[in-house]
Amino acid sequence: MRITVIGSTSPTGLEVLRNGIARGDELVAFTRRPNVLKSFQGITKIVTGDGIHLSDLQHAINGSEGVIAIVGGKANVAAVIQNVIQAMQEAKVRRLVFVSSYLLEAKRPWPTVPVARWIFRRDLAELREAENVIRSCGLNWTIYRPTQLNDKPATGDWRIKERGNDFKSGPYQISRADLAAALLDAVTKDANDRGIYNVTWGM
């Protein structure tokens, strides 16, 4: 499958590239920092650009079958996602997987979640707006809300629950490598999902 990875040089994006290459997927890496990918072998195409510019995304998405979007930091997330959606619609690409955050609606573990939600409130507001943009589009989308991310090795074991269902027990974290595998599993599904899911490590 040919997959465009938006945010491919973020820590999670790099894990998506590693995992996708190992699976044999055709990967288009969209990034503002192409030098980070010099050591990577097996990437089908590297597109340098900024998600604020629609034309850059059009170049990256045209010809792909699915998109994984990992957009955060200081980016105008909702504006970038709106451009991603427009580029996908123009290219007739239907499958979108977006990475959000467990903190948006979770209540457990207490008091960690409410404290973290306050600290990251501005970033979370961006993610919430981006989710709203995605939910109003006509694409076949899935939103994953991971718990705390770490850089530990992949375990191959994670739990997924529909939005509104907190994890009743820990660990309230997941490695970026395992999240990457979950994202790739999701983007290859043909079903018209349109679901929002919490994801964390298995017991």
Segment-wise mean pLDDT, segments of 10 residues, the chain, 203 residues: 97 98 97 94 96 97 98 85 98 97 86 87 93 96 96 95 79 96 92 88 79
CA distance 140 to 138: 7
Task: Report which of 128, 127, 102, 129 is spatially closest to residue 116, judged by C-alpha positions.
Answer: 102
- Residue 74 pLDDT: 64
CA distance 54 to 38: 25
Q: How far is CA 104 from CA 17, 35, 54, 144, 147, in A?
A: 26, 33, 27, 11, 10
pTM of the entire predicted model: 0.95
- Residue 176 pLDDT: 98
Task: Report which of 31, 19, 26 is spatially closest to residue 1, judged by C-alpha positions.
Answer: 26
Domain boundaries, the chain: 2-201
Which secondary-structure segment (H or E) carries 148? strand 148-150
- Residue 165 pLDDT: 77
CATH architecture, domain 2-201: 3-Layer(aba) Sandwich (3.40)
DSSP 39: T
- The structure tokens listed for 172 are 């309230």
Q: How far is CA 156 from CA 42, 125, 195, in A?
A: 22, 31, 22
